Structure 1
Amino acid sequence: MFTAFWVAYASFLLPSAVRAAAQYNMVKEYAGESFFDDWTFYNNADNLTHGNVNFLGNKDAFHDNLAFTNDAGNAVMKVDNTTQLKFGQNRNSVRLSTKDQFTVGSVWVADILHVPYGCSVWSAFWSSAPTWPVGGEIDTFEAVNQDPMGHMGLHTNPGCTHSSNAVQSSTLINSTDCSIDANSNQGCIITNPSPASYGEAFANAGGGVYVTEFAIDGISIWFFNRTTLPSSLQGNVSTIDTATLGIPVANWPADDCAVNEFFQPQEIVFDITLCGDYAGAASVFYQTCTGVCYNDYVLGDPSFYNTAYFEVSYLRVYGEPGELTVIQPSSGVRSVGLGRFATPALVLGSLLALVWAL
């Protein structure tokens, strides 16, 4: 009786112990002249997705104006659009990730006015744990070539899937298995149904705002254009309540993808590569483009890349009140222990151990 009572009591407590709060306070902002202060530039050829680019370090990127703050105070990250290359050369570009990592129980909001697009272009705004694929990947925005719309997705170790019970507005479900071992690491992908979620249409609409909620009970992504942006996201808001945002475009509830099992604290990333494993794959490239990805575009007229840039007004990160949200590089933290990331079984075992000790 005694044991059964405490097991039931512990189980009753668990939902409130692991349920994500809807209210978040701002803990980090990247904006204006200081936007680039806390980022790491990859500074290497694209040996990750095999694109035909050299990712520049911060000094070279700033010197070559591939990363800068424009007169409007917005951060710009772009592909070189002036250099005529010779065969065998790659085009310069940028890939940068936040020095800090952000824990489960955080939200990031990005106001983006322009995303890179065009044949051969593969651009993304996303996040991952430093030990990828352990720790997972969240793609808030990704698109290639002349796709009509952008998409969202997760990449994880085997065992995480997109739930049939997901509450989301998009019905364009490309794939449901998030495993990196399935379908050539396609991930569990949801297409953003908005015709202004990528390319020229996105730019002409003045861009939009992406919201990613990285919560213990699931991962959700919202997209708003300028006419649908809720009042709770307008202005320099220091707190947000995700309950005011309506139904997300994409949702991966924890019932089929346990967030505390498949995800660790995330670094946020902007990158632009060319061709590579995705945009350059024949089955993808020829859906919207003609010619040869490298020969006709990377080596072609540099003005092909006049539209291959991000312009970002701000990126803000919010966390649950009273919880650790920001893990700084000096802390050396790369894993989590018993706490808000603990599995229910582990929490239950610890509660029972406490009961028996009493």
Structure 2
Amino acid sequence: MRSLSRLSFSFLTLALSLSHVASSTSTCYKRELSIVGSDFFEQFDWDTEDDPTHGRVNYLSLQESKAKNLTYATEDKFFMFPDSKNVVATGARGRDSNRISSKQAFDESVVIIDLQHMPYGCATWPAFWSLSQKGPWPTGGEIDIIEGVNEATENLISLHTLPNCTMPQTRLQTGTTVSTNCDVAYNYNQGCGTQVPQPISYGKGFNSIGGGFYALARSKESGIKVWFWPRFSFVPLDVQWNEDTVNPDLWGPPTAYFPTGDNCGYAQHFNAHMLVFDLTFCGDWAGSPSVWGASGCSSMICSDFVDKNPQAFADAYWEVNSLRVYTPETN
């Protein structure tokens, strides 16, 4: 598919600008951080603790991951892979993989990821998300920007919080409301989620089109919003061209919108978040009997599938073009 011209994007941006010209709360954000290629090794920590979601996974240190060639970077790409060559030994913690957390944390901000390829496949549970650096979880909240399991095709965007945070069933978003109670104690920590109504928003379909962009914007006034743009679509210029400033008020309706206010106070539920990438296997969601049983993946139990089928994880990798963080401009 031929990409749209910069002029075409300009007309789109102008149209969106005119539609929002009357807004008195329009906020520009300046670029605070741009992470590309080997910058990830400096800006993230590799976490090696046991998986809190009980996955069949062995999270490696940076040194171990590099030594096993499960993470590397080029000038303009960053990669993370699981082990896809070895049968997992009996008694081992699980299949080798990566979980990384940003060293910096951000409160009111815009986060834009340009993602080329995400993990997918049977028994996988990848996520790009954020959580309170101060904690302890769920204090300070959690925002799941990209998340899914097994061979899902549509991304699920969710919040997980302390009690007394709910969302309206109907709100200004292009996604589909799945659940409205964000409390982690409700319905086995389902959270309040919005499904992206595009089969190219996650997994194999996403990768087949060369990926795309996800953007998170969060503020005390506007709440929490997430947008998804496939790579060859009407991507806003400031997102597409790595501009010094961005204005999410000009991007049109978000894919997922979580208003904060009387039903979910921003200050009570959210603080400065670090950004996290991970890939676990099975665990509380992908490996739950009902979800795994309905996946059509295997008659094996999920953990046995992970242990005995290394080749099944050859496409379960992250390929990131860039990650940018913007913070509000001050006058």
SS in 2 for 1:83: coil
Q: How many Å separate the matches in 1 of 2:321 and 2:177?
A: 30
- Counterparts of residues 14-53 of structure 1 (less than 5 Å): 21-46=26-51, 48-53=52-57
User: 269-278 vs 160-169, which deviates more?
Assistant: 160-169
Q: Does 1:198 align with 2:209?
A: no
Distance 2:160 2:27 in 1: 25
1:314 aligns with 2:330: no
Question: What is the DSSP-based 3-state SS (H/G/I as helix, E as strand, rest coil) of the residue aligned with 2:125?
Answer: strand
Task: Report Cα offsets for 1:304-348 as digits up to 9, x if no partner.
Answer: 00111111001100000139xxxxxxxxxxxxxxxxxxxxxxxxx
**What corresponds to 2:269 in structure 1?**
262
1:133 aligns with 2:138: yes
CA distance in 1, matches of 2:82, 2:100: 13
3-state DSSP of counterpart to 2:311:
helix
What is the distance in 1 between the residues matched to 2:153 and 2:293? 14
Q: In the alignment, what sits opposite 2:311? A: 303
Give unmatched runs, 5+ long, in structure 1: 1-18, 324-358
Q: Which residue is 1:251 aligned to? A: 257
Give CA deviations for 1:200-231 in whole Å, capped at 9, x if unaligned. 11111110100000111200000000122222
- The Cα of 1:293 is off from its aligned counterpart by 4.1
- 1:295, distance to aligned residue in structure 2 (A): 4.7
Distance 1:106 1:264 in 2: 11
Question: In the alignment, what sits opposite 2:112?
Answer: 109
Over residues 73-106 of structure 1, what are the superposed CA-to-partner deviations in whole Å (9 max), with x where a residue is unaligned?
2111121111122233211100000011101x20
Shift of residue 294, structure 1, vs aligned partner? 3.6
Q: Superposed, which structure 2 residues align to 1:3-152 within 5 Å?
A: 21-46=26-51, 48-70=52-74, 73-89=76-92, 90-103=94-107, 105-130=108-133, 131=135, 132-152=137-157
Task: Quote the residue 1:342 is aligned against.
Answer: none
Cα pair 2:101 2:275 within 8 Å, conserved: yes
Contact 2:169 2:177 in 1 (8 A): no
Distance in structure 1 (CA, Å) of the matches to 2:305 and 2:330: 50
Contact 1:20 1:215 in 2 (8 A): no
Q: Which residue of 2 aligns with 1:212?
A: 216
- Superposed CA deviations along residues 7-60 of structure 1, whole A, max 9, x for unmatched, are xxxxxxxxxxxx9653100001111222221111111332x0100111111111
Give the TM-score taking structure 1 as reference length. Answer: 0.81
Matches within 5 A, 1:328-347: none
User: Which of 209, 219, 236 lines up with 1:230 in the alignment?
Assistant: 236
In structure 2, do the counterparts of structure 1 residues 273 and 187 end up closer, same or farther at CA, with 3 Å as the change threshold? same
| 1:202 aligned counterpart, secondary structure | helix
The whole-number CA distance in structure 2 between the counterparts of 1:164 and 1:294 is 34
TM-score, normalised via structure 2 length: 0.87
DSSP-derived class of the 2:232 partner: coil
Greater helix fraction, Structure 1 or Structure 2? 1
Q: How does 1:178-189 map to 2 (within 5 A)?
A: 178-189=182-193
Distance in 1 (CA, whole Å) between partners of 2:228 and 2:258 is 15
Instruction: Give the C-alpha shift of residue 272 in structure 1.
Output: 0.3
Give the greater-gyration-radius structure (CA): 1
- How far, CA to CA, are the matches of 2:301 and 2:61 in structure 1? 25
Please give the alpha-carbon distance, in whole angstroms, between the structure 1 residues aligned to 2:64 and 2:97. Answer: 10
Out of 127-136 and 284-293, give the one that drifted further: 284-293
Segments of 5+ residues of structure 2 without an aligned counterpart are 1-23
Cα distance in 1 between the residues matched to 2:284 and 2:203: 20
Q: RMSD between aligned alpha carbons?
A: 1.6
Q: Does the 8 Å CA contact 2:282/2:303 hold for their aligned counterparts?
A: no
**Which amino acid in 2 is paired with 1:266?**
H
Please state whether the residue corresponding to 2:45 is helix, strand or coil.
Answer: strand
Once structures 1 and 2 are overlaid, which stretch shifts more, 160-169 or 287-296? 287-296
Q: CA deviation at 1:120?
A: 0.5
Distance across 2 between alignment mates of 1:319 and 1:173:
28
What secondary structure sits across from 1:286 in the alignment?
Answer: helix
Tell me the matched-pair count: 301
Preserved contact between residue 149 and residue 192 of structure 1 (Cα < 8 Å): yes
SS in 2 for 1:102: coil
User: Aligned-pair distance for 1:296?
Assistant: 4.2
Identity %: 36
SS at 2:157's partner residue? strand
Q: Quick one: distance in 1 between partners of 2:231 and 2:329?
A: 29
Q: Quote the residue 1:279 is aligned against.
A: 286
